């Protein structure tokens, strides 16, 4: 049974210049009362006096409070990857706020890795036997024309140590000859679209999708279990979250082995850990029955700060990596069709078993053909195991059209759209990947809302920076890096965008009864901002400074984070 309000437990009332609650019954307030990590009420100071004695905290008197931002699609590797060398195109801030310059050519990428090789390994790697790998991340060759990075380019970094660089999408890995050989791929006779070949008939060193990447990841220091279960990464990710106003975030595709779960429980259970984590078990490498059984077992280990028990399915790859599955007429530049990551039969079985067990499933679908497949399989599974409030969510869903959104509504499926793509790859989508017409409907937030589909928007950090106000700015303005408006008809208003990064994302995780708005009974999670996002011009939404967060009633200062480059 739930305990009633206990007058003996101290109450803190936070005063603010303005509190935007996302509660339509009381949309704004000036004070919020917190007891035991939960919200007693939001309103005026006089209204809150009825709860009894309290301590007035006025440190936010000049600030604006919003519900703590909920990042519904991110990865803990956004913290862990800072162990390695950043090789992205855009400048990027690390967890401490330091800016790292982007590499604007393939030669700069190679030079960046050469500098890392000369600098030597980190101390923990130095203790290991054998020469450590040279590892980079954030790479995206779509900015560099048709020239692709090869193993010979990375051999210039080292001919004796494994060298690998993970693409920004996370769906492609480039490796040098040493890493390719250790993975067992330095041989002729390979005939698979995941292994582009060089003129010599050997793999070029570009590995597409999990089937090709997994055997090489260990050799270049990027084991997925490590990326999701690394304590350094968890703490670094939490610092990124505080700097950007995030109080709840996902690790959307984790292996969740016993050792990882133990570390997650220990770190998130610390009194000073500022973030609620929601890791999803990835289906890759598991049979559906095994994954659902594991998710059910993990659900029983959930805590206030660690929510377990959901599954992530990956249907296809990435559009900018040309590994997403597109319907006719395919890629605008004539690139070959993309890759299926999960067989239809496995998807249907996973959905059916998950519905039976009450396990939510989130499915990655970038291409519209992949979205069709996921909806077909969900429809078949629901016919077998009907469930009214399953919270199945499609992630990215970048090319979905209005008819597909109507199917989602009919099936009770929600979406979490990748709004940041407009800025980072919008120009390339117009001219290279899908062409002008389809690019204008990408990440169709307005259509989703118009068709009544539950909407969240996300960063997919580290694919793009963790920064919900920037994500909201992308959905509101739909500007590419060159300043082109990509699909004016799909822009949404600031209130809708703010809802998508609070209540919308909370709904997708089944947590909207606990977080996502500032109202009586919910968790005391707030983003502390320097200005009201609803009062600034929409084009300046991404410039609103973030001071830090309040999470479960505990205050965490992150410093005003810079906007993404």
Check: CB of residue 275 under 8 Å from CB of residue 303.
Answer: no
Q: Supply the pLDDT for residue 473.
A: 98
**CA distances, 224 to each of 175, 409, 560 (Å):** 16, 34, 31
Q: What is the pLDDT of residue 8?
A: 81
480 has a pLDDT exceeding 60: yes
- Dist. CA 379–CA 210, nearest whole Å: 26
pLDDT at residue 126 in the model: 47
pLDDT, one tens digit per residue, over 140-161 is 999 998 889 999 999 999 999 9
Q: Inform me whether the pLDDT recorded for 561 exceeds 50.
A: no
pLDDT at 122: 54
- pLDDT greater than 80 at residue 351: yes
pLDDT digits (tens, 9 = 90+) for 41-62: 999 999 999 999 999 999 999 9
What does R_g of the chain's alpha carbons equal in angstroms? 23
Q: How far is CA 237 from CA 80, 154, 496, in A?
A: 7, 29, 27
Helix residue spans in 421-550 (DSSP H): 421-428, 435-440, 445-450, 468-477, 494-499, 505-508
- Positive or negative, the CA dihedral 324, 330, 333, 336 is positive
The pLDDT value given to residue 225:
66
Structural domains for the chain: 11-62 (2.30.40.10), 77-224 (3.10.310.70)
Residue that is written with structure tokens 């998710």 in the block: 295
Q: What is the pLDDT of residue 564?
A: 40
pLDDT band at 121 (very low <50, low <70, confident <90, very high): low
pLDDT tens digits, one per residue of 220-235: 988 766 777 799 999 9
Q: What pLDDT does 1 receive?
A: 43
What is the band of 245 on the pLDDT scale with cuts at 50, 70, 90? very high
Q: Are strands 92-93 and 455-457 parallel, antiparallel or unpaired?
A: unpaired
pLDDT, one tens digit per residue, over 416-457 is 999 999 999 999 999 999 999 999 999 999 999 999 999 999
Interval 395-418: pLDDT, tens: 999 999 999 999 999 999 999 999
Q: Does the pLDDT at position 14 exceed 90?
A: yes
How do 99-100 and 134-139 pair as beta strands?
unpaired
Alpha helices in 97-205 (DSSP H): 106-119, 123-126, 151-155, 177-182
Region 272-291: what's the mean pLDDT? 96
pLDDT at 270 over 60: yes
Is the pLDDT score of 317 beyond 50? yes
Separation between Cα atoms, residue 385 and residue 349, nearest integer Å: 11
CB 448 within 8 Å of CB 441: no
Please tell me the predicted confidence (pLDDT) of residue 322.
94
Q: How far is CA 233 from the centre of its chain?
A: 15
Please measure the distance between the N-terminal and C-terminal CA atoms of the chain and give it in whole angstroms.
49
Residue 514 has pLDDT above 60, yes or no: yes
> Residue-wise over 377-406: b if at least 16 C-beta within 10 A, else e?
bbeebbeeeeeeebbbbbbbbbbbeeebbe
Average pLDDT, the chain: 94
Spatial CB neighbours of 19, under 8 Å, sequence gap ≥ 6:
28, 29, 30, 31, 32, 42, 64, 65, 66, 518
470 close to 542: Cβ distance less than 8 angstroms: yes
């Amino acid at each position: 049974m739930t305990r009633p309000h206990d007058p003996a437990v101290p109450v803190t009332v936070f005063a603010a210049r303005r509190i935007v609650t996302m509660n339509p019954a009381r949309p704004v307030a000036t004070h919020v009362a917190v007891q035991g990590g939960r919200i007693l009420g939001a309103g005026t100071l006089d209204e809150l006096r009825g709860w009894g004695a309290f301590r007035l905290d006025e440190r936010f008197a000049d600030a604006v409070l919003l519900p703590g931002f909920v990042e519904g699609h991110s990865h803990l590797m956004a913290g862990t990857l800072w162990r390695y060398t950043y090789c992205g195109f855009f400048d990027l801030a690390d967890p401490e706020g330091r800016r790292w310059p982007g590499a604007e050519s393939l030669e700069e990428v190679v030079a960046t890795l050469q500098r890392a090789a000369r600098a030597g390994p980190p101390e923990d790697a130095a203790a290991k036997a054998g020469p450590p790998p040279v590892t980079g991340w954030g790479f995206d060759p779509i900015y560099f024309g048709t020239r692709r990075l090869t193993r010979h380019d990375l051999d210039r970094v080292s001919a004796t140590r494994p060298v690998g660089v993970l693409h920004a999408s996370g769906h492609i890995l480039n490796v040098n000859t040493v890493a390719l050989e250790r993975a067992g791929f330095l041989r002729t006779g390979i005939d698979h679209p995941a292994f582009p070949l060089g003129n010599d008939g050997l793999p070029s060193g570009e590995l597409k999708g999990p089937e090709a990447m997994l055997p090489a990841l260990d050799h270049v220091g990027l084991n997925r279990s490590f990326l999701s279960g690394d304590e350094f990464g968890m703490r670094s990710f939490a610092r990124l979250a505080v700097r950007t106003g995030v109080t709840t975030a996902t690790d959307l595709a984790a292996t969740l082995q016993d050792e990882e779960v133990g570390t997650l429980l220990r770190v998130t259970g610390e009194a000073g850990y500022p973030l609620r984590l929601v890791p999803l078990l990835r289906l890759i490498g598991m049979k559906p029955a095994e994954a659902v059984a594991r998710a059910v077992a993990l659900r029983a280990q959930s805590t206030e700060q660690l929510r377990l028990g959901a599954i992530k399915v990956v249907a296809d790859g990435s559009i900018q990596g040309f590994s997403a599955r597109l319907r006719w007429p395919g890629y605008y530049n004539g690139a070959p069709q993309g890759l299926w990551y999960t067989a239809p039969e496995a998807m249907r079985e996973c959905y059916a078993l998950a519905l039976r067990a009450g396990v939510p499933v989130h499915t990655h679908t970038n291409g519209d053909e992949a979205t069709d497949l996921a909806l077909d399989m969900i429809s078949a599974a629901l016919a077998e195991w009907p469930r009214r409030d399953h919270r199945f969510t499609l992630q990215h869903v970048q090319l979905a059209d209005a008819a597909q959104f109507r199917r989602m509504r009919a099936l009770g499926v929600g979406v979490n759209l990748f709004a940041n793509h407009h800025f980072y790859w919008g120009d390339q989508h117009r001219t290279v990947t899908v062409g002008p017409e389809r690019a204008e409907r990408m990440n169709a937030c307005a259509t989703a809302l118009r068709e009544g589909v539950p909407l969240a928007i996300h960063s997919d950090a580290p694919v793009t920076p963790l920064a919900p106000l920037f994500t909201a700015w992308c959905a509101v303005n739909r500007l590419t890096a060159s300043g082109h408006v990509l699909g004016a008809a799909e822009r949404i208003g600031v209130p809708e965008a703010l809802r998508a990064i609070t209540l919308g994302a909370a709904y997708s995780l089944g947590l909207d009864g606990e977080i996502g708005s500032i109202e009586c009974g919910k968790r005391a999670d707030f983003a502390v901002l320097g200005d009201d996002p609803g009062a600034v011009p929409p084009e300046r939404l991404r410039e609103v400074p973030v001071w830090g967060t309040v999470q479960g009633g505990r205050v965490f200062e992150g410093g005003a984070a810079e906007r993404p480059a």
